[in-house]
């Protein structure tokens, strides 16, 4: 179990909180476990959910670039919980595991576009060394993105990096609140949870 306990959904009476938890069951990213931690302070869950909707799911920048940046941050931070999640909107935009497999070594990728690589260079700089965002990187960013897009991308990278570091300290694990819904998980993570659920059922 995590370092902070999950909220008991049966004790929640706020319909907005219940709706946000149900949304996480339906779509994942964010998954139910992390939302059930945030729900311990309703204002935290509500403000996080609003920001996530406005800057990740919606916004001025195409979702796939933000999803690649999110997974890059998760993998570079070695946050298995966050790295094991996938956005259904990213899949709808055409992202596959091939792109996610190459986000860490993105400079050598033959799949990722120059635009996506520019975004990942900035994600790398924000996460690890602001000095990496030199004149050359900024020239690439301005060549591929508008300034409003850059504001949204930079803000989102900072948001997801902070949240992922926070969640990593809690020791969250997928499936701790049930494995009946595996929406929003990377294929290998979903398969592992299915196998675990199957072995448990057999042993019972």
Domains of the chain plus CATH, in order, are 9-203 (1.20.1290.10)
> pLDDT grade, residue 194 (50/70/90)?
confident
- Confidence class of residue 157 from pLDDT cuts 50, 70 and 90? very high
pLDDT over 70 (residue 63) = yes
33-48 pLDDT per residue, tens: 999 999 999 999 999 9
DSSP H helical segments within 28-109, as ranges? 32-38, 42-52, 63-76, 80-83, 88-92, 97-101
Spatial neighbors of 137 by CB under 8 A, at least 6 apart, are: 118, 121, 122, 125
Q: What is this structure's pTM?
A: 0.93
pLDDT of residue 181: 79
Mean pLDDT of the region 47-61: 97
What pLDDT, on a 0 to 100 scale, did the predictor assign at position 204? 42
Q: How confident is the model at residue 154 (pLDDT cuts 50, 70, 90)?
A: very high
Say yes or no to pLDDT of 179 above 90. no
Q: 105-114: buried (b, 16+ CB within 10 Å) or exposed (e) per residue?
A: ebeebeebee
SS3 85: strand
Determine how many CB atoms are found less than 10 A away from the CB of residue 155. Answer: 13
The residue among 202 and 36 whose pLDDT is bigger is: 36
| Alpha carbon distance 39, 46 (integer Å) | 8
Average pLDDT over residues 52-62: 97
Q: Of all residues in the chain, what percent carry a pLDDT higher than 90? A: 87
What pLDDT does residue 1 have? 83
Give the pLDDT band (50/70/90) at residue 199.
low
pLDDT at 202 over 70: no
Poorest-pLDDT segment among 93-107, 148-162, 177-191 = 177-191
């Amino acid at each position: 179990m995590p370092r902070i306990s999950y909220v008991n959904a049966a004790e929640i009476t706020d319909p907005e909180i219940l709706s946000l938890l149900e949304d996480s069951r339906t779509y994942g990213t964010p998954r139910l476990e992390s939302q059930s931690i945030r729900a311990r302070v309703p204002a935290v869950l509500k403000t996080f959910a609003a920001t996530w909707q406005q800057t990740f799911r919606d916004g001025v920048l195409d979702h796939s670039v933000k999803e690649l940046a999110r997974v890059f941050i998760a993998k570079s931070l070695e946050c298995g919980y966050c790295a094991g999640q996938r956005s259904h909107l990213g899949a709808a935009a055409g992202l596959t595991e091939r792109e996610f497999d190459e986000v860490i070594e993105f400079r050598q990728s033959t799949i990722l576009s120059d635009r996506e690589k520019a975004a990942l260079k900035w994600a790398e700089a924000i996460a690890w060394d602001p000095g990496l965002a030199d004149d050359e990187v900024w020239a690439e960013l301005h060549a591929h993105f508008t300034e409003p897009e850059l504001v949204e991308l930079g803000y989102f990278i900072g948001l997801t990096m902070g949240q992922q570091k926070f969640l990593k300290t809690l020791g969250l694990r997928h499936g701790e609140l049930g494995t009946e819904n595996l929406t929003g998980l990377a294929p290998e993570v979903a398969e592992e949870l299915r196998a675990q659920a199957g072995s448990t059922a057999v042993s019972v």
